[in-house]
Structure 1
Amino acid sequence: MITLDSLTKDYGKNRAVNELSFTIEPGTVTGFLGPNGAGKSTTMRMILGLDAPTSGKSLINGVGYEQLRHPMRTVGAHITGTAGHPGHTPRTHLKALAQSNQIPASRIDEVLAQAGLQSAAAQRIGGFSLGMRQRLGIAAALLGDPQILILDEPMNGLDAEGIAWIRQLMKNRAAQGGTVFVSSHLMSEMQQVADQLVLIGRGELITQAPTDELIKGFAQQVIAVRAPQASALAGALAGHGAEITEGGGNRLEISGLSLAEVGAIAFSNDFELHELSQARGSLESAYDQLTRDTVEFTSSTAGKAMGK
């Protein structure tokens, strides 16, 4: 379990994290979301004792990270950019970590295999791609077979197979009673893997809720329609204020109208329907609505800044 109690971090006059309080329970994958600059990485670094809080505290199973005797056997963490010295190999890097935490050497080959790095075990890390460094960082996080995993943007640089691997890994760890706390900007992946979500903006908590509950409460609802006269139907629906996205196979995705309203408009205009259903809302839609007032860096803002 991870517990944050009024966790706060100042950098001079800038407050990066402001009195964050929440709990991450075992048996779940908890996604950690927020705009760039929201304080996600700073929060994770404070949990891991890499940054000292200005005030407040974070606890791992009731104690501070610095009080853990063999931390890698309790918490496995991968923070972006911490995949080992470029002159080392995966094997030497993991060996040093194992010795420092009294982890059996047999775990080295196990996690190399789990991360798909057996063939690269003797290569220097400096020649690794971003995806390979990500795999090595995750292998290091798994080395102590910890109850808790903390992963900061673990999908960056991974190919489709790698993303599927880390997604299943997180699900399996949670199903076995572990605690998984993961940050990511990939909303579609978080929607698939996260049981719970913590959203922050400008260093403050926006909400913590189950993923399905958050999507249901805040995502724009989408109606799926498939009709032989899809283009004509789209015109009729647009006349009633609907926003429409056309897909293949005469399929439309409609927002701005209810299921009943779409059905009534189609009926009154004698359109034949082959499908009329309410699709699950997207996490991206809910995220945009919840964080719109906390985004500090946007394309339009950047454009104005460059014009000054």
Structure 2
Amino acid sequence: MITLEALTKDFGATRAVNQLSVNIAPGKVTGFLGPNGAGKSTTMCMILGLDAPSQGQALLNSVPYAKLRYPMHTVGAHISGTAGHPGHSPRTFLKALAQSNRISATRVDAVLTEVGLQSVASKRIGGFSLGMRQRLGIAAALLGDPQILILDEPMNGLDAEGIGWIRALMRTRAEQGGTIFVSSHLMSEVQQVADHLILIGRGALITEAPTQELIKEFTQQVITVRSPKATALAGLLERTGIEVMATAVDQLEVIGMPLEGVGSLAFAGGIELHELSVTHGSLENAYNQLTHDTVEYSAELSGGVART
């Protein structure tokens, strides 16, 4: 369990994290989301003892990080985006970490194999791509076989195979009872892997909820209908006060009526259907709605259309 109790961090007159209180539970992947400058990295740094809270505390299994004698056995973290000195090799970098935390040297080769770096274990880190350095950082996080993993933007620089690999790694460790706390701006990936979400803005908690519940609550359900008599069906639907939009000659999108209701109305009107399907909103839609008022920086597209 990761426990944040009224966690607060001030940098001079600027409050980066404001009275943040949440529990990050084992057995699930918890996504940590928020706009740039929301306080996500600062929060992770306080959990790991890299920043001292101005108020409150962060606990790992009820203990502050600084009081863990060999912390890599309890928590593994990758938050910098890179790992190791450019002149070192992955093997020497991981061996030094292992010795500092009384981890068996055999564990070094095990994690190098797990992250796919065994073939370059003796190469200089300075020649690695961003994706390879991400894998090395994750290898360091896994070194002590910890129950808790804290990962900040772990998918940056990874190709499609690498993203699939890290997604499977997080899911597997959560299913084995681990606590996975991950921050990412890749909403589609977070939606696929996270069981629970914590959203913050301007350092404060916006909401936390199971992923699917949050998406369902803050997005609209859209029914897609295809029919050779789409115009006639649109007329029936509009008479009930339902919002209908024609997206093609034979296709409609319906908002405000359940799928069963659309099907029953078409059947009663003798209208042939070629498709009747439902699309739930995306995490990106819910995220944009929830964080709209907490965005620190925004851009404007040509034509005056604002976009975060």
TM-score scaled by length of structure 1: 0.88
Aligned to 2:41: 41
Matched residue, 1:54? 54
What letter corresponds to residue 258 of structure 2 in structure 1? L
Corresponding residue for residue 259 of structure 1: 258
Distance 1:227 1:168 in 2: 40
1:31–1:198 Cα contact (<8 Å) kept: yes
Amino acid at match of 1:51: D
Change (3 A) 1:265 1:94: same
The answer to whether residue 201 in structure 2 is matched with residue 201 in structure 1 is: yes
**Aligned ranges for residues 210-225 of structure 1 at < 5 Å?**
210-225=210-225
User: Which deviates more from structure 2 when the two are superposed, residues 264-273 or residues 119-128?
Assistant: 264-273
Q: Does the 8 Å contact 2:233/2:266 carry over to 1? A: no
Is contact 1:234–1:244 with CA below 8 Å preserved after alignment?
no
Is the deviation greater in 216-225 or in 38-47? 216-225
Q: What runs of 5+ residues in structure 2 fail to find an aligned partner?
A: none
Separation in 2 of the partners of 1:112 and 1:169?
A: 14
TM superposition shift of 1:41: 0.7
TM-score by length of 2: 0.88
Cα distance between partner residues in 2 of 1:303 and 1:151: 38
1:161 aligns with 2:174: no
What is the percentage of aligned positions where both structures have the same residue? 69
Q: Deviations over 1:266-292 (max 9, x none)?
A: 679975322212223311111111111
C-alpha separation in 2, matches of 1:76 and 1:301: 40
- Separation of aligned partners in 1, 2:233 and 2:95: 61
1:33-83 CA distance string (max 9 Å, x none) = 111111111100110011111111000000100000100110000003341
Instruction: Work out whether 1:175 is the aligned partner of 2:175.
Output: yes
Q: Is the 8 A contact 1:233 1:266 kept in 2?
A: no
Asked if structure 2 preserves the Cα contact closer than 8 Å seen for 1:220 and 1:285, the reply is no
Alignment correspondent of 1:189: 189
Report the CA distance shift for 1:244/1:7 in structure 2 as closer, same or farther (over 3 A): farther
Give the aligned partner of residue 282 of structure 1. Answer: 282
Report deviation, 1:93: 0.8
Q: Give secondary structure in 1 for the equivalent of 2:300.
A: helix
Cα deviation code 1:76-133 (max 9, x no counterpart): 0000334111111111111111111010011111111110111111111111111111
The question of whether the paired residues in 1 share the 8 Å contact of 2:233 and 2:271 is answered with: no
Equivalent residues in 2 for 1:68-217 (5 A)? 68-217=68-217
- Residues 12 and 277 of structure 1: is their aligned pair in 2 closer, same or farther, counting only changes over 3 Å? same
Amino acid at match of 2:143: L
- C-alpha contact (below 8 Å) 1:259/1:277 kept by paired residues: no
Q: Give, in angstroms, the shift of residue 300 of structure 1.
A: 2.3
Q: What's the CA shift for 1:251?
A: 6.4
3-state DSSP of counterpart to 1:293: helix
**Contiguous gaps of at least 5 residues in structure 1:** none
